[in-house]
C-alpha cells in the first residue's frame, strides 16, 4: 500500500466521499503532511531543486483531485480507451515510461469523481454499440497501491461486472488485491501482473512488490475466477538470462491452478528505450546500470512516429524462440498474445 509523505487535497475534492475517506484515514498520522490547496499551484508544495529531487519527493506525494476533462484518451492497440482512475505510481522503476510521460510531475493523483467517470465511460460504450468496448485502467499509472483507500478498482470492477457491452483490464506490479477477490466481476475484468526475474526486479524496480508477492497475488485473482495474465517485461539479455527467465516460468507453472476457466495469457516485451527516456533516466538515476548503449541496439521507428532503440534482430529472434518454446512446453491452458 502506498503510504504518502504528503497529501494535497485540491479545492472541492473533499465534497466527494472518496476524498473524505482518504482524509479520515490519514489526518491523524503525524508522519503525513496534509495540505489543502486553494489554487492549482500544487508544484510549489513538492520540494526539489532539480529533476533528481523532484522525482523522489513527487513519488511520495498523493494528490487528491477530480478529473476535470472527461474526454478519455484512446489506448491503442491494447484497448479502446484509457479509464482515468489514477495517474502516476509510487514505484521507482528505472525504465518506467512514466518517467518520460510525467517528467517533473511524478506524483500520484487519484480522481475522486469516479461516478462522473463511469457516466462518461457509459457514453463511450453506448456510442460503439453493438460493438463491445475495452477500457484500460493502468495506461498511465499502477492503480493497485492506492486501492486500499480509494477502492476505485473495486467500484470499477463492479461497474463492468454489470455491463454486458464493455470490459476492463489493468496491469500491476503490486499485490494489494485482496479486496477485489470476492467481487461479482462476471469475467469482465482482466487482471495482468507484470513480472520479471529477481535480478531485474532487484536492480531496476525499486519500491514495487517482490516477484513472489506478485505471483501469490496472481494466483489469488486467478482462483477468484478473473481472466488472468502475465506481462513479462521488459526482458533483458544478461548473463544467465535464460536460466533466470526459465526459473521464473517454472515457478509460475508450479503455482498456477490447473482448473482455471480462462487461459493464462502471456505478453512478452523486450527492453527498448527512446533517446528522450534515456536522458531523463540518466538525470533521475545517475548510477543506473540499465543497458542503454545505442551502438548495441537497433534504431527503429515505432507506430507512434518516434524512434526507439531495440535489441538487434538476432537477439530479438532468440528472445522470441526462447519464450515461445518454454511457454509452450510448460503451460497447458494458456494463450501467448505476443512476444516482441
Ligand atoms: Fe512504472 Fe509500473 Fe514501475 Fe510504477 S510499477 S514505476 S508504473 S513500471
State in Å: Cα 208 to ligand 1 middle. 8
- Within a domain: residue 171? yes
- Within a domain: residue 173? yes
Ligand 1 atom with the smallest distance to the CA of 171 is 2
**What integer pLDDT is reported at residue 198 of this predicted model?**
96
Mutate to test the pocket of ligand 1, among 82, 172, 173 (most ligand atoms within 8 A of CB): 173
Task: Kindly list the protein residues whose Cβ atom lies closer than 6 A to any atom of ligand 1.
Answer: 89, 91, 93, 96, 98, 142, 173, 205, 208
Ligand 1 atom with the smallest distance to the CA of 90 is 4
- Within a domain: residue 30? yes
Ligand 1 atom with the smallest distance to the CA of 142 is 7
Least confident range from 18-32, 282-296, 300-314: namely: 300-314
Answer yes or no: are the C-beta atoms of 235 and 197 closer than 8 Å: no
- Within a domain: residue 126? yes
163's grid cell: 455491463
User: Is residue 303 pLDDT above 80, yes or no?
Assistant: no
- Within a domain: residue 113? yes
Ligand 1 atom with the smallest distance to the CA of 89 is 4
Mutate to test the pocket of ligand 1, among 56, 58, 88, 91 (most ligand atoms within 8 A of CB): 91
Least confident range from 39-43, 94-98, 233-237, 297-301: namely: 39-43
DSSP lists the bridge partners of residue 169 as 136, 190
User: Is residue 271 pLDDT above 80, yes or no?
Assistant: yes
Residue pLDDT, tens place only, 198-226: 999 999 999 999 999 999 999 999 999 99
State in Å: Cα 91 to ligand 1 middle. 5
Cα 33 from Cα 44, distance rounded (Å): 14
**What integer pLDDT is reported at residue 269 of this predicted model?**
97
Ligand 1 atom with the smallest distance to the CA of 92 is 6
User: What CATH number does residue 97 fall under?
Assistant: 3.80.30.30
Report how many domains make up the chain.
1
Residue pLDDT, tens place only, 121-143: 999 999 999 999 999 999 999 99
Average pLDDT, the chain: 95
State in Å: Cα 221 to ligand 1 middle. 20
User: Is residue 40 pLDDT above 90, yes or no?
Assistant: no
Mutate to test the pocket of ligand 1, among 142, 195, 203 (most ligand atoms within 8 A of CB): 142
Residue 285: pLDDT band (50, 70, 90) is very high
By residue range, what is the domain housing residue 63? Answer: 6-339
234's grid cell: 521488459
Q: What are phi and psi of 63, to 5 degrees?
A: -110, 125
Residue nearest to atom 2 of ligand 1 (CA): 142
User: Is residue 185 pLDDT above 80, yes or no?
Assistant: yes
Ligand 1 atom with the smallest distance to the CA of 88 is 7
- Within a domain: residue 55? yes
- Within a domain: residue 1? no
Where are the extended beta strands (E) located within the chain?
Answer: 6-9, 33-36, 61-65, 74-75, 79-82, 86-87, 92-93, 108-111, 133-136, 166-172, 189-195, 205-206, 228-235, 264-270, 298-301, 307-310, 334-339
User: Is residue 304 pLDDT above 80, yes or no?
Assistant: no
- Within a domain: residue 128? yes
Residue 287: pLDDT band (50, 70, 90) is very high
> Which residues does 163 contact at the CB level (< 8 Å), separation at least 6?
122, 125, 188
State in Å: Cα 129 to ligand 1 middle. 33
Mean pLDDT confidence for 182-193? 98
Residue nearest to atom 5 of ligand 1 (CA): 91
Residue nearest to atom 3 of ligand 1 (CA): 93
pTM score, whole prediction = 0.95
Amino acid at each position: 500500500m502506498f503510504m504518502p509523505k504528503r497529501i494535497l487535497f485540491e479545492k472541492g475534492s473533499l465534497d466527494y466521499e472518496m476524498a473524505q475517506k482518504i482524509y479520515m484515514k490519514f489526518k491523524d498520522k503525524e508522519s503525513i503532511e496534509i495540505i489543502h490547496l486553494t489554487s492549482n499551484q500544487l508544484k510549489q508544495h513538492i520540494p526539489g531543486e532539480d529533476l533528481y529531487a523532484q522525482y523522489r519527493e513527487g513519488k511520495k506525494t498523493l494528490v487528491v483531485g477530480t478529473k476535470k476533462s472527461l474526454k478519455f484518451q484512446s489506448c491503442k492497440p491494447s484497448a479502446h480507451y484509457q479509464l482515468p482512475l489514477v495517474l502516476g505510481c509510487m514505484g521507482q522503476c528505472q525504465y518506467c515510461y512514466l518517467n518520460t510521460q510525467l517528467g517533473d510531475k511524478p506524483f500520484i493523483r487519484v480522481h475522486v469523481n469516479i461516478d462522473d467517470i463511469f457516466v462518461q465511460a457509459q457514453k463511450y460504450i453506448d456510442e460503439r454499440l453493438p460493438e463491445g468496448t475495452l477500457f484500460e485502467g493502468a495506461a498511465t499509472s499502477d492503480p493497485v497501491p492506492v486501492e486500499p483507500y480509494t477502492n476505485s478498482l473495486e467500484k470499477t470492477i463492479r461497474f463492468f461486472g454489470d455491463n454486458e457491452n464493455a470490459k476492463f483490464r489493468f496491469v500491476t506490479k503490486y499485490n494489494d488485491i485482496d479486496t477485489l477477490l470476492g467481487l461479482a466481476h462476471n469475467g469482465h475484468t482482466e487482471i495482468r501482473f507484470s513480472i520479471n526475474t529477481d535480478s531485474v526486479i532487484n536492480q531496476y524496480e525499486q519500491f514495487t512488490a517482490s516477484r513472489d508477492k506478485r505471483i501469490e497475488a496472481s494466483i489469488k485473482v486467478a482462483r477468484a475466477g478473473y481472466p488472468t495474465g502475465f506481462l513479462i517485461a521488459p526482458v533483458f539479455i544478461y548473463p544467465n538470462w535464460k536460466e533466470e527467465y526459465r526459473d521464473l516460468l517454472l515457478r509460475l507453472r508450479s503455482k498456477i491452478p490447473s482448473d482455471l476457466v480462462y487461459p493464462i495469457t502471456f505478453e512478452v516485451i523486450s527492453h527498448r528505450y527512446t533517446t528522450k527516456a534515456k536522458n531523463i533516466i540518466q538525470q533521475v538515476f545517475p548510477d543506473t546500470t540499465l543497458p542503454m548503449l545505442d551502438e548495441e541496439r537497433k534504431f527503429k521507428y515505432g507506430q507512434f512516429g518516434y524512434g526507439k532503440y531495440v535489441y538487434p534482430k538476432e537477439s530479438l529472434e532468440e528472445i522470441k524462440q526462447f519464450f515461445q518454446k518454454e511457454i509452450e512446453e510448460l503451460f497447458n491452458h494458456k494463450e501467448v498474445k505476443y512476444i516482441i
